[in-house]
Amino acid sequence: MAGTLFIVSTPIGNLEDMTFRAIRTLKEVSIIAAEDTRRTQKLCTYYDIQTPLTSYHDFNKEEKTPILLQRLAEGSDIAIVSDAGTPLISDPGYYLARATITHQIAIVPIPGASAILAALTASGLPPDAFVYQGFLPKKSGARTQVLTQLAEEPRTIILFETPYRIRITLESIQQVFGSRQVVVARELTKLNEEFLRGSAEDLLKTGLAQRVKGEITVLIEGLRTKKIKRLD
């Protein structure tokens, strides 16, 4: 009988956000496929998880996927984790998940922390409908094109960004979205957690780009629906 692939969410910062089910699962599976085994080892040490780790990332996914599929076919249960948060969201786990489904092997999600939802609920922007864009393109033209395509989006827009690119991203948002409200959420669940709110121009004036560190989630207010005036 084939094993099961468990997609296990891990904390995005505060280790206490690990669920009981996630801890039990990581202890019971045969192997943990981790984006960065060094980071995952710290989590395993904290919770006394003795399960062997193997690396699984963008640079070895094509090589490692057949090996993991063979283990699953032979009956081993495998957990896949990302560096932080929910696997498959902006990380290589999707490649393994698709291959697992193709081979008709069971997949079980173990839900938990998500920077997307954590940032959205505390942002002050409408949470009832949103669109997640992930990381914007590095090249200026492609980045502006993506943002322009989102300019008419009525839902709250959510992006991931790095400290090294937050300034150029805010400049691009200012160029495309003007004075629309933006929220920058950084270091979520950690000691220095911070939410910065205002237009992209306002945030740039604070010197944010020079001092911000850690993982960043950016939220942009959706286009407000204009009321149509009655003619009668």
| Span 154-206, pLDDT tens digits | 999 999 999 999 999 999 999 999 999 999 999 999 998 999 999 999 999 98
Contact 190, 214 (CB under 8 A): yes
| pLDDT band at 226; cut points 50, 70, 90 | low
Per-residue model confidence (pLDDT) at position 224 = 85
Domain 4-110 maps to which CATH number in 3.40.50.1820, 3.40.1010.10, 3.40.50.620, 3.30.70.1350?
Answer: 3.40.1010.10
Calculate mean pLDDT across residues 7-31: 97
Residue of 89 and 208 predicted with greater confidence: 89
Q: How far apart are CA 123 and CA 205, in angstroms?
A: 20
- Per DSSP, the residues of 62-96 read HHHHHHHHHHHHTT--EEEE-SSBSTTSSSTHHHH
What are the residue ranges spanned by the domains of the chain? Answer: 4-110, 115-220
Architecture of the domain made up of 115-220: 2-Layer Sandwich (3.30)
Per-residue model confidence (pLDDT) at position 36 = 94
Per-residue model confidence (pLDDT) at position 51 = 98
Calculate mean pLDDT across residues 19-31: 98
Q: Kindly report the pTM of this predicted structure.
A: 0.90
Q: How far apart are CA 90 and CA 85, in angstroms?
A: 10
